[in-house]
């Protein structure tokens, strides 16, 4: 089990104040990692960071950042590196997939925002923090993608395109930052985070019965094992990989 130990490592997690990001932050802390919690609202990040520190006895930091902003990502990378003394793990988890009534109702602003949050921010943070990791001779970057990138649904096309770009970027960054820094992606399926409150659960359950091998959505903590694997020495010969954590989505059904 020592291969999965994150003691002494520091992990920055975007979108870390709720949902899958919060589950990963708590899971990493339980494995011994110091945690940098990042989301748009600094006060919420600060509360979460304080709770994690109290629960697990690790060091924590909190920073507010809108990852759709190139300049804010640039500033975040600099201040987080300075505050922590160097990051070992970066989890690009922040994402968005707004609903739209029809394809023609998708505005340019919505389209650009989806790509900025899901692709531009991870690229900028990975480039800056990843380069620092290379200089230190080690590091792991984990991009939280989506099964939508492989099997896009009609209601999430900009999101599916942005996550497909994130998949491609994962492969390119693995080549650019290797061999000392590993870059991988988790292709997440449907998870019961706060966004599930907007789902038509009857329709989802019907789809899950037909289109997901496990016939259900995931609980947020069910992504943690995969994330710890990719963050830890257990995956030291794994890079440029897309790891599906989706309950077994059957292609063409969703």
Give the catalytic positions in this structure.
159
Residue 36's nearest CA partner among 65, 7, 62 is 62
Residue 122's nearest CA partner among 153, 86, 76 is 76
Tokens standing for 160?
């599916």
Question: Are 251 and 226 a contacting pair, CB within 8 Å?
Answer: no
Question: Angle formed by the axes of helices 224-231 and 19-30, to 10°?
Answer: 60
Name every residue whose Cβ is closer than 8 Å to that of residue 202 and which is 6 or more positions away in sequence.
Answer: none
**Residue 150 DSSP symbol:** T
CA distances from 119 to 68, 124, 144, 165, 219 (A): 8, 9, 11, 7, 25
CA distances from 223 to 33, 50, 110, 145, 206 (A): 17, 23, 28, 12, 23
Query: Distance between CA 223 and CA 218 in Å, rounded?
Result: 8
Name every residue whose Cβ is closer than 8 Å to that of residue 210 and which is 6 or more positions away in sequence.
Answer: 250, 253
């Amino acid at each position: 089990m020592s291969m999965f130990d994150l003691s002494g490592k520091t992990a920055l997690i975007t979108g870390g104040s709720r949902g899958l990001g919060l589950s990963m932050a708590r899971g990493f802390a339980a494995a011994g990692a110091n945690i940098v919690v990042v989301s748009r609202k600094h006060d919420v990040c600060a509360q979460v960071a304080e709770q994690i520190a109290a629960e697990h006895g690790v060091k924590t930091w909190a920073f507010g950042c809108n990852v759709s902003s190139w300049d804010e990502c640039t500033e975040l990378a600099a201040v987080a590196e300075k505050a922590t003394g160097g990051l070992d793990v970066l989890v690009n988890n922040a994402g968005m997939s707004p609903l739209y009534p029809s394809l023609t109702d998708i505005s340019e602003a919505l389209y650009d925002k989806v790509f900025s949050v899901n692709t531009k921010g991870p690229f900028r943070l990975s480039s800056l923090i990843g380069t620092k990791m290379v200089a230190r001779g080690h590091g792991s970057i984990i991009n939280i993608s989506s099964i939508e990138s492989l099997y896009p649904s009609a209601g999430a096309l900009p999101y599916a395109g942005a996550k497909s770009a994130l998949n491609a970027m994962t492969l390119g960054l693995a080549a650019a930052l290797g061999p000392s820094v590993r870059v991988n992606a988790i292709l997440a399926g449907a998870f019961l985070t706060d966004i599930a409150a907007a789902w038509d659960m009857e329709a989802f359950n019907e789809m899950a019965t037909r289109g997901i091998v496990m016939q259900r959505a995931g609980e947020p903590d069910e992504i943690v094992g995969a994330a710890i694997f990719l963050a830890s020495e257990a995956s030291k010969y794994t890079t440029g990989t897309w790891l599906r954590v989706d309950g077994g989505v059957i292609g063409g059904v969703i």
